[in-house]
Structure 1
Amino acid sequence: MAPPHRICSEDIECSGLTIPKAVQYLCSQDEKYQAIGAYYIQHTCFQDESAKQQVYQLGGISKLVDLLRSPNQNVQQAAAGALRNLVFRSAPNKLETRRQGGIREAVSLLRTTRSTEIQKQLTGLLWNLSSTDELKEELISDALPVLADRVIIPFSGWGDGNSNLSRELVDPEVFFNATGCLRNLSSADAGRQTMRNYAGLIDALMAYVQNCVAASRCDDKSVENCMCVLHNLSYRLDAEVPTRYRQLEYNARNTYTEKSSTGCFSNKSDKMMKRHDPAEEASARPEGCSAHLCSSWKSSSN
């Protein structure tokens, strides 16, 4: 869960706000009130599930999507955080966010922003959206290139020097959110081949896992996501990419034959190897993951 953020300036009394008033603030010409309205919605939706439906009914989602285009970074961050919490475990809000162009605007902002906090909120939003099957095709088309090129590949350490972005510019939480999103997207039948073919993606995921293993960081929270993406992308490989799969199988058999003919094992050992029980098949449905929710305010003790 992302660290919450204090949102109210000292001269604004937030305790008297309501959802209807906060939605009105989103339409204010004053960016300060826009941010306050969005942060209040983010905070309230974290605490109260019914607030999500209320914001939906008042047309607040379209207003928040519009605020993603604000030139003010504080407003951008507030709007992204509010949408992130609004869509958490709410299918109607996810579909409404897509209908209002929220995926397109979130991806566009993620492509250009250098703010780590905004990146955290946007990747968290995309992760939450990715758990709904109806949105996966659009997310694979629109979000995959940005997540791969601006987050996954630079942070993974693969191909250092080939990326225009330095690993230091990507926050670990942003990487975690991005891998969570890809973990969900990799469970979609239509998108697996697109992800397999995306230049550098599999290499980057493998490089990150290998680097974590080498550094004895196997419990790194992003490792599980990376491994699940790789697992999902191997699902039904024989049926979906039969030519490539047969080539890999042929290469593996030849490699095994060469090793067994020149190695130290007896023919009996070879036969035992060939009789080895096969691994269990993957489940009928590739593995996804739960959505991710963040709070919006710092605790009073901080």
Structure 2
Amino acid sequence: REGEERHPYIHGMYSAPLAQPERGSMASLDRMGGRHLPEVIAMLGHPIDPVKSNAAAYLQHLCYENDKIKKDVRQLKGIPVLVGLLDHPKSEVHRKACGALRNISYGKDNDNKVAIKNCDGIPALIRLLRKTNDMEVRELITGTLWNLNVSSDGAEARRRLRECEGLVDALLHALQSAVGKKDMDNKSVENCVCIMRNLSYHVHKEVPGAEKYQDPSALTSLSFWLPILTSVFVSLYFPAGFELLYQPEVVRLYLSLLTESQNYNTLEAAAGALQNLSAGQWTVSTGYIRATVRKEKGLPILVELLRSDSDKVVRAVAIALRNLSIDRRNKDLIGSYAMRDLVSNLPSGQQRPAKNLEEDTVVAILNTIHEIVTDSSENARSLIQAQAIEKLVAINRTSVHVLQTVWSYKELRNALAKDGWNKSHFQVWNQSRPLQIMSIQSVPGYDDTTLPLMEKNQGQSARVVECMLL
């Protein structure tokens, strides 16, 4: 859900690198421990750089899981001073300042986030992201940006973030650098992709002039299409700001991450970004995003990820495939090559697959299958050949929209009858359903209900985003 911090990637006992004190600084921190907070904030402006960095490090330490201290730092005007230190030439100073800002920005107190934004914190973070090669600093920057990004609930807040000068450019620069170095499993990359996914959420509804792209009554009008096509041409060849979110090279970037990354959060975010970009009936998704994924050999990459052991990766990939299959050529290819993998993820009656997928993931898979078999008897035939009917009948109440679509193809009924199926198997049963489903979207079409990157157990292992100085 928007408005909350993301959950971290946990792999075994993985935790984010802690911001370590400089050699000899712990004694200084201890000596500062008895001083009042105003004095610590005043030390941020000390002419000696090690004093600055120690003061920032100590604020990071004090703000760890302490909302009162964060509020006090804000009220004592400490945030603008920390933001100013992001431009400091010494790495130990801007690193500690960024660590303090990351902890201050963590949590549900939006006043802290607003204070960082209001003193030009985002441009300062962007400048530092573009110039630093320090992986720890990049992680701190992107973690802070993430905390600020996920506080933006609503279309207007997302619009303001998309239009932050240089934000999307800097995120893409960081991702392209990581892909070029084949270093894609670090927290900095994860944070960048998660932010990109959130910025692309509902982009088909929220781009400037979006209503013109959605007006079905004007679709046959040359006066309607000419400015839109001109706009698309300009954005493709001279992209700027938020337009960078939906360029073909960004699609290729996501596909590289989906191919190379082993981080489940990064994989989910990249698949979710493709889901967002391919949602809707706007010119970008219908005109080239869905085709670009196909032409860049992205469909086999996504299909392979249906075999992932991660529930959230399977869910994000399934929904992305659903949106991509609105393109007729994609639908034919997905029906031919993805059907068995989709079916293999379905439970069989009371028996779930070895992955033990969650209910909303099963729903996502069923809705994807439904989209694939709608208006395609050949794909419905592939579904039958994948031995899916037994599973679908066993979870009847969950899968009835798929079953009824399959039964609607009269040319397939003889084959179904030979396998022992009749009309009664394709109707809703009165028995209790095996799965309690959160929601079923039985109407074919795209899915734009991507959750901005959150996980369900908010608050667990949150130390990846807010870190304590030890």
Contact 2:246 2:289 in 1 (8 A): no
Q: For 1:200, what is the secondary structure of its paired residue?
A: helix
Q: Which residue of 2 aligns with 1:173?
A: 187
Distance 1:81 1:253, change over 3 A: closer
**Structure with more contact order per residue of length (Cα contacts < 8 Å, sep ≥ 6):** 1
Give the Å deviation of 1:228. 1.7
Match of 2:169 in 1: 145
Q: Which moved more, 1:198-207 or 1:111-120?
A: 198-207
* Change in 2 beyond 3 A, CA 1:296/1:72: farther
The aligned length equals 271
> Structure 2 matches for 1:240-255, cutoff 5 A?
241=284, 244=287, 252=329
The range that moved more, 200-209 or 15-24, is 15-24
Kindly provide the CA deviation profile for residues 78-127 of structure 1, in whole angstroms up to 9, marking residues without a partner as x: 11111111111231111111111111111011101111111111111111
| TM, length-normalised to structure 2 | 0.51
Deviation at 1:42, TM superposition (A): 1.2
Partner of residue 229 from structure 1, selected from 241, 253, 273: 273
- For 1:187 and 1:85, the matched residues in 2 are separated by 25
Are the aligned partners of 2:278 and 2:290 in contact in 1 as well (CA < 8 Å)?
no
Matches within 5 A, 1:173-252: 173-187=187-201, 189=203, 190=206, 194-212=243-261, 217=262, 220-236=264-280, 238-239=281-282, 241=284, 244=287, 252=329
Structure 1 residues 233 and 95 mapped into 2: Cα distance closer, same or farther (>3 Å)? same
What is the aligned partner in structure 2 of residue 26 from structure 1?
44
**Contact 1:4 1:296 (8 Å CA) reproduced:** yes
Query: Does the CA-based 8 Å contact 1:6-1:296 persist in structure 2?
Result: no
CA contact (8 A) 1:3 1:294 kept: no
Structure 2 runs not aligned, ≥5 long: 1-14, 209-241, 292-325, 337-375, 383-404, 407-441, 455-461
Q: TM-score, normalised by structure 1?
A: 0.77
Code of the residue aligned with 2:25 in structure 1: it is S
Q: Does the alignment pair 1:58 with 2:230?
A: no
Does residue 155 in structure 1 map to residue 178 in structure 2?
Answer: yes
1:120–1:177 Cα contact (<8 Å) kept: yes
Q: What is the CA distance between 1:234 and its match in structure 2?
A: 2.2
SS in 1 for 2:25: coil
Relative to 1, partners in 2 of residues 1:66 and 1:247: Cα closer, same or farther, differing over 3 Å?
A: closer
Shift of 1:71: 1.1
Contact 1:22/1:37 (8 A) holds in 2: yes
CA distance in 1: counterparts of 2:79 and 2:257, whole angstroms: 36
Residues 246/51 of structure 1: CA separation in 2 closer, same or farther (3 Å cut): closer
Q: Quick check: 1:98 aligned with 2:142?
A: no
Q: 1:270 aligns with which of 378, 392, 395?
A: 378
Give the whole-Å Cα distance in 2 for the aligned partners of 1:27 and 1:52: 19
Letter matched to residue 5 of structure 1: A
- Cα separation, partners in 2 of 1:297 and 1:10, compared to 1, 3 Å: closer
SS in 2 for 1:47: coil
